[in-house]
């Protein structure tokens, strides 16, 4: 039976490589993007290269919680099932930006929008024979912290601190959701894709852009960065594995002292409050 996957941020970088990899395997692949023209171009490119015409997309801007809710509803109207959800989209921004929902943008994109999308798709995921949720975190989570007063990022802004915090939230969300879903058969795992040479962080410009261009020589390709996502989506070896963090297709221990049951609970409660679920 053909499997169906939804991948956020699938029109570039690791997301695009994941879309291409699962299309090559014959999956029905649906990805999200903000721009119709770019999404259509990626769709045509992947269909041409893979010979798989079961590739489609949904337009959604993760800085709008309304669009995220609409995306979940549209998906359920257009597609009969969902076997795997890959929460791939992420940003690291040069300055603090506030969304139309009154939230710090990187917090909303990296965590809250995926929190909402995932919860709204649990009902269709549960119908799958082998439902999986995969959250892209980062090794940057090791530097992340949880401050109960500033979970939504509304504090003196530091780009990399905020990014690290949101990547920690990806881990906390993964662990808490895995625990809540342990009786449903839905598995939830997180991963670090590696240091990948993409357009990530391109908005910084200046000296950062110069250093990033030099450093890109030592980074892995998006295709290599997608390997763990593809492994968690497709491998029988992880069919019943849940609540783990993977690096290079292997589970590794989590050592950040902020990864506690109490912080998992606090993040969940705050996310529920902000999303009005």
> Phi and psi at residue 247, in whole multiples of 5°?
-135, 130
Burial grade of 219 (CB within 10 A; 0-12, 13-18, 19 or more): middle
Of 75, 150, 157, 163, which residue is the catalytic one?
163
Is residue 150 part of the annotated active site? The answer reads: no
CA–chain centroid gap for 89, Å, is: 5
Question: Which two tokens mark 103?
Answer: 């939230």
- DSSP letters, 87-122, are E------SS--B-TTSSBHHHIIIIIHHHHHHHHHH
- DSSP letters, 188-210, are EEEEE--SB-SSTTGGG-HHHHH
Bridge-based pairing of strands 28-33 and 84-87 is unpaired
Q: Which residues are catalytic?
A: 163
């Amino acid at each position: 039976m053909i499997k169906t996957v939804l991948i956020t941020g699938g029109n570039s970088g690791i997301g695009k490589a994941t879309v291409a990899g699962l299309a090559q395997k014959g999956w029905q692949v649906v990805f999200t993007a903000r721009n119709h023209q770019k999404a259509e171009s990626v769709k045509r490119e992947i269909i041409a290269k893979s010979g798989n015409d079961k590739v489609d997309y949904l337009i959604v801007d993760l800085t709008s919680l309304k669009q995220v809710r609409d995306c979940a509803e549209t998906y359920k109207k257009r597609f009969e099932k969902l076997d795997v959800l890959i929460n791939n989209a992420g940003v690291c921004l040069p300055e603090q930006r506030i969304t139309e929902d009154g939230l710090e943008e990187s917090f909303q994109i990296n965590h809250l929008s995926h929190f909402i999308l995932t919860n709204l798709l649990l009902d269709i995921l549960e119908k799958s024979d082998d439902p999986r949720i995969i959250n892209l975190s980062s090794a940057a989570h090791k530097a992340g912290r949880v401050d109960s007063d500033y979970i939504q990022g509304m504090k003196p802004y530091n780009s990399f601190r905020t990014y690290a915090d949101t990547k920690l939230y990806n881990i906390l969300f993964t662990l808490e959701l895995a625990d809540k879903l342990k009786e449903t058969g839905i598995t939830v795992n997180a991963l670090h894709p590696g240091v990948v040479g993409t357009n990530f962080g391109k908005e910084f410009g200046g000296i950062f852009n110069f250093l990033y261009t030099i450093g890109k020589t030592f980074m892995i390709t998006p295709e290599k960065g997608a390997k763990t996502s593809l492994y968690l989506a497709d491998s029988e070896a992880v069919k019943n594995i849940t609540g783990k963090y993977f690096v290079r297709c292997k589970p590794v221990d989590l050592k950040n002292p902020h990864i506690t049951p109490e912080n998992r609970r606090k993040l969940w409660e705050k996310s529920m409050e902000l999303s009005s679920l």
